Structure 1
């Protein structure tokens, strides 16, 4: 479904990452964990996870777009959205997409895994669970190159402090002497922390190779069920 949107705001989060609010001309129905595509051309439609949750997005759609210098694919979209905001123009999106949405009827504990701006995907799921008062235990592991990439770390620590069923574990590859959390690869941290993932629903957003490695490692070494692992990447790999 193609929908016209106004670009309401563009705010820098950190490390070449932007929070973008879109106001669609008509309400968009979606499930937590789905994504939209920004239409750049007839055959050029670029996917981004919806960071807002479906139960309290107030008609707006939130995106987190990482546009580092080497990532022309994302920079071009941010530039297009900035142009639309400055000139009062509308942009076209197509939504919703993706089948890696949360299985709300499941009572299994959740393991949410994000790499970089893949956080927007798990953030939607987490916020939806909180809003729906779900009692499932929720473990959110967020990996990044350095602390700067984990742009919502304060918010996540506050959420984990407020809700007893939520545990947040940040993992960075490059740490300075002030860093108190885990250092290394996010998947390695999970392998270290969990004896078994047999009973978990696992939701993953990040690079395709990360999602592929997670499926291989967790099913072979931790008893995870392939049918209980969800990622948009699994539609392509």
Structure 2
């Protein structure tokens, strides 16, 4: 479905990451974990995860990592900034994606994000917490350094408020006094879990990360292939 949106705000977070809030001209019926396409041209439509859950009405939130070496994302941020300044609307197509939250499942959940792939798991987490989900939720977020984990304080606070939520930040390069894990996020998960057979697993990051997770977790930790969800799996 093609939808016009007002750009409400474009906020710089950290490490070339931007939070963008859109107000769609009509309600968008989507599921937690789905994505939209930012329409840049007739044949140029770029996917970004919706970072909020459906319970937040009349608003779509995006988190876009747009470093100078990433023109694919940076051009979208500039497009959004220009629309905000001029008052013009932008066009999206939504919803898309099959890796949405399976709300009928009672399995414990493992949410894994790399970089701005956090926007995908954030939508799922927001939905779970708003529903008062009781099953255990484990969220692992990996980045090159602490700066990439731009919502670390928010997640630490949520984990303190919800006894069933465990948040584990993982960085490749740690600053002095770092209390999270250091290294690769998939290796951190593999170290912490003897078995993943009982879990629903939701993953968002680079395609190679999603592929590696599926191979590692099914082969070595007993994860069920059909209970692992990532939009990347539609393409690899």
Structure 1 residue 199: Cα displacement: 0.4
The answer on 1:223 being equivalent to 2:222 is yes
Q: Which residue of 2 aligns with 1:28?
A: 28
Q: Which residue of 2 aligns with 1:180?
A: 179
The answer on 1:201 being equivalent to 2:208 is no
Q: Determine helix, strand or coil for the equivalent of 1:14.
A: coil
Question: CA–CA distance in 2 between the matches of 1:180 and 1:168?
Answer: 12
Q: TM-score, normalised by structure 1?
A: 0.99
Question: CA–CA distance in 2 between the matches of 1:72 and 1:196?
Answer: 40
Matches within 5 A, 1:1-237: 1-55=1-55, 57-237=56-236
1:111-144 deviation digits (Å, cap 9, x = unpaired):
0000000000000000100001111100000000
Q: RMSD in angstroms over aligned alpha carbons? A: 0.5
Question: CA–CA distance in 2 between the matches of 1:203 and 1:176?
Answer: 28
Q: Determine helix, strand or coil for the equivalent of 1:6.
A: strand
Structure 1 residue 106: Cα displacement: 0.4
Q: TM-score, normalised by structure 2?
A: 0.99
Instruction: State whether residues 146 and 175 of structure 2, in contact with CA within 8 Å, keep that contact through their aligned partners in structure 1.
Output: no
Structure 1 residue 69: Cα displacement: 1.4
Structure 1 residue 180: Cα displacement: 1.4
Please list every run of at least 4 consecutive aligned residues from structure 1 whose deviation after the TM superposition is greater than 3 angstroms: none
Unaligned 5+ runs, structure 1: none
Question: CA–CA distance in 1 between the matches of 2:179 and 2:34?
Answer: 33
The alignment covers a number of residue pairs equal to 236
1:75-118 deviation digits (Å, cap 9, x = unpaired):
00000010000001110000000010000010000000000000
Question: CA–CA distance in 2 between the matches of 1:226 and 1:13?
Answer: 35
Structure 1 residue 177: Cα displacement: 1.4
